[in-house]
Amino acid sequence: DAGVTQSPTHLIKTRGQQVTLRCSPKSGHDTVSWYQQALGQGPQFIFQYYEEEERQRGNFPDRFSGHQFPNYSSELNVNALLLGDSALYLCASSPGPGRASGNTIYFGEGSWLTVV
């Protein structure tokens, strides 16, 4: 049973560029969330997707956008990259809302983004 998988694992981008990160949720999970983890800090919630719609959003600018596909996989897009966007980007999956185990959230290994 594959867990949450993310790609790429590492990437380096230049200020002003755009980046797309990808995530496949754990088998049986249909809800995907994205978190940003700066070095030495706890993960910060970016947004969550369920049924291909953004359901919740954290305190992140519109430069951060996402998408969920019919197979529940998801993409995180960041436009106009800033140096401060350098972080570990984590994808998390969980069973859909309404399920008893809906709070059980599993994380992938993350995508390390460095903006230079």
Partner 1 sequence: QQQVKQSPQSLIVQKGGISIINCAYENTAFDYFPWYQQFPGKGPALLIAIRPDVSEKKEGRFTISFNKSAKQFSLHIMDSQPGDSATYFCAASMLSRGGGNKLTFGTGTQLKVEL
Q: Is 66 in the site for partner 1 (CB under 8 A)?
A: no
Site for partner 1 in 45-64 (CB under 8 A): 45, 48, 50, 55-56, 58
Q: Which of 17, 18, 27, 41 binds partner 1 (CB under 8 A)?
A: 41
Q: 82 and 115 in contact (C-beta within 8 Å)? A: yes
Q: Alpha carbon 93 to chain centroid distance?
A: 9
Q: Which of 36, 68, 93, 94 binds partner 1 (CB under 8 A)?
A: 94
Q: Is 35 in the site for partner 1 (CB under 8 A)?
A: yes
Q: 88 and 111 in contact (C-beta within 8 Å)? A: yes
The distance of closest approach from Cβ of residue 34 to partner 1 in the complex, given in angstroms and rounded to an integer, is 10
Residue closer to partner 1 by CB (options 46, 115) is: 46
Kind of pairing between the strands at 111-115 and 10-13:
parallel
Phi and psi (nearest 5°) for 107? -105, 150
Q: Which of 36, 43, 72, 87 binds partner 1 (CB under 8 A)?
A: 43
What does the alpha-carbon distance between residue 45 and residue 42 come to, in Å, rounded to a whole number? 10
- Of 78, 57, 72, 86, the residue nearest 4 (C-alpha): 72
Binding site for partner 1 (CB under 8 A): 4, 31, 33, 35, 40-45, 48, 50, 55-56, 58, 88, 90, 92, 94, 97-98, 102-110
